[in-house]
Amino acid sequence: MIKIESLTRSFGRFTAVDGISFMVSPGEVLGFLGPNGAGKSTTMKILTGFLEATSGTVSVMGHDVANEPKAVQALVGYLPEGAPLYGDMTVRGFLNFIGQARGFRGDELKQRVSSVVQKVQLSRVLDQTIDTLSKGFKRRVGLAQAIIHDPKVLVLDEPTDGLDPNQKHQVRELIRNLSKDKIVIISTHILEEVSAVCTRALILASGKVVFDGTPDALSRLSRHHNAIAIKLAAQQDAASALSAIDGVASVDSDPQTGSFIVYPLNGMSLLREVNQVIHRNGWDVEELHVEKGRLDDVFRQVTLEGVST
């Protein structure tokens, strides 16, 4: 269990984190969202004991970060932003170092290193200098050092940033496999990532929490949630017939291509009603699908509102 209570951190006059509070329980994968400078990294740095809070408390499994930083750090695995590593070391040397620093010796150390190497598939580059590795491999080394002690809490600051789609996929798979009974906190500004790996999304803007809920609840905030896109074979004016349906908020139309988007009120499902209208008018439908919420719309809406209030 992680408990954060009215956490504030200022740098001079600038308040990076402004009185945020939340709790995370084991098994949760929390996606930390927000524009750059919203306070995501700062919160993570305080949680891992790298920075001190200006005020407020953070406790991890009952240990207060300010009073018992070492106890907290022993429980937490951390991948800092950009995955900084000692470039002049080999992968093996580096993982051995982190393992030793975490208190493992002898056979246990060997076993830990080999298990983590297997988990993130590093055996091919084990004796290469880290500087010579590709970005994807470097990120995996960063993940490996974060999970070498099988931490109860895993804090990953932008783990997929700058990776290609395949590498992103691999890293997400890895996170999904890890997260069973752990607390995982991931910061990202890639919204698809939240629906891909997180069980909960928390959006920060200007140091404040502006949204806290499931990724589904987040996408439901979008006006595109349950919107129905229709493409007709022949050009006709279907807009008036569609807007007449009960529960339709508005209809966007593009008569040139014969495409329409029907937006429902409050994200209700209108597929049935729309289908009836199509049948009644005998339209020839080329394409019809129900849209999911567009997360980047919601993101913009939520974070910009957050700034203005």
Partner 1 sequence: MSMGVIVRRELNSYFSTPLAYVFIAIFLMLSGLFTFYLGRFYERGQADLIAFFSFMPWLYLVLVPSIAMRLWAEERKSGTIELLMTLPISTFTVVLGKFVAAWLFVGVALALTFPIWLTVNYLGEPDNGVVIASYLGSWFMAGGFLAIGSCLSACTKNQVVAFILTLVICFMFVVSGFPLVQDFFSAWAPLWMIDWLSSLSFLTHFDAISRGVIDLRDILYFIVMMGSWLLATTIVINLKKAD
Position 161 contacts partner 1 (CB under 8 A): no
The minimum distance between CB 121 and partner 1, in angstroms, equals 21
The minimum distance between CB 295 and partner 1, in angstroms, equals 29
Site string for partner 1, 10-39 (x = CB under 8 A): -x----------------------------
Query: What SS3 state is found at 130?
Result: helix
Position 80 contacts partner 1 (CB under 8 A): yes
Radius of gyration of the chain (CA): 24
Position 267 contacts partner 1 (CB under 8 A): no
Structure tokens at 111: 């076993």
Which segment (28-36, 92-100, 257-265, 283-291) binds partner 1 by CB under 8 A? 92-100
Angle between helical axes of 106-119 and 91-101 (0-180°, round to 10):
130
Of the residues 62, 67, 88, 121, which one makes contact with partner 1 according to CB under 8 A: 88
Position 49 contacts partner 1 (CB under 8 A): yes
DSSP letter at 151 equals -
Position 82 contacts partner 1 (CB under 8 A): yes
Of the residues 50, 56, 128, 291, which one makes contact with partner 1 according to CB under 8 A: 50
Position 64 contacts partner 1 (CB under 8 A): no
- What is the DSSP code string of 271-300? HHHHHHHHHHHT--EEEEEEPPP-HHHHHH
In which residue are the tokens 């949204």 written? 211
CA distances from 196 to 10, 116, 200, 282 (A): 33, 23, 11, 39
Q: Please state the separation of Cα 71 from the chain's center in Å.
A: 26
Of the residues 24, 38, 78, 218, which one makes contact with partner 1 according to CB under 8 A: 78
Q: CA–CA separation, 221 vs 44, rounded Å?
A: 27
The minimum distance between CB 182 and partner 1, in angstroms, equals 17
Name the residues that contact partner 1, by CB under 8 A: 11, 45, 48-51, 70-71, 73-74, 76, 78, 80-82, 84-89, 93, 97-98, 100-103, 145
